[in-house]
Amino acid sequence: MMNWKNNKFQIAVLLLLLAILAALIALGIFSNDQSVDSVAYVNLQRIFEKHPARLAAENTLNQKAAEYQQQIESEYADAGGSEQKEIIQKHQEQLQELEAELLAGVIDELLAVIEETAAEKELKFVLEEEYILYGGYNLTESVLERIEAQW
């Protein structure tokens, strides 16, 4: 009778292991989320440098700087020493605010394109290239292609 109990236990363990194996296989086959461990990285500096919105923002900033320069020259001639400093400081602050606003717009657009590209490729994580030591998928070219297609 001892052998029968042992065999019954062995059969139960075998059936349990088969059930676990079947469940794991079913989860692998039927899972819609195949990207649980998918990690990609991008070279933000390269994407930023090639983004057409950055060039447009830079041109806008340069045009505004030229306008401010003309305003400073016309106001500067009629002003005294302390007023001259105030005029220059006022225009510098306005230029810095514009630069921050334009830069934020470019960064927002860049992040949106990265998110769209990652979602299309069913990636869960996208990191900056400089923080990757090993592995991962380089998403930089895909992001640049998407930007080029949109512009």
Residues 12 and 77 in one domain: no
CA nearest 48: which of 143, 139, 137, 142?
143
Count how many domains the chain has: 2
Residues 38 and 14 in one domain: no
Q: Are residues 87 and 142 in the same domain?
A: yes
- Residue 96: the pLDDT is 86
The predicted structure's pLDDT at residue 106:
86
The number of beta carbons lying within 10 Å of the beta carbon of residue 54 is 19
Percent of the chain with pLDDT over 70: 72
Average pLDDT, the chain: 79
pLDDT tier at 1 (50, 70, 90 boundaries)? very low
If asked whether residues 27 and 45 sit together in one domain, one would say no
Q: What does the pLDDT read at residue 45?
A: 86
Question: Both 138 and 104 in a single domain?
Answer: yes
From first CA to last CA, the distance across the chain in angstroms is: 80
Least confident of 35-44, 47-56, 93-102: 35-44
Rg (CA), the chain: 30
* Domain span including residue 12: 1-31
Residue 140 has pLDDT above 90, yes or no: yes
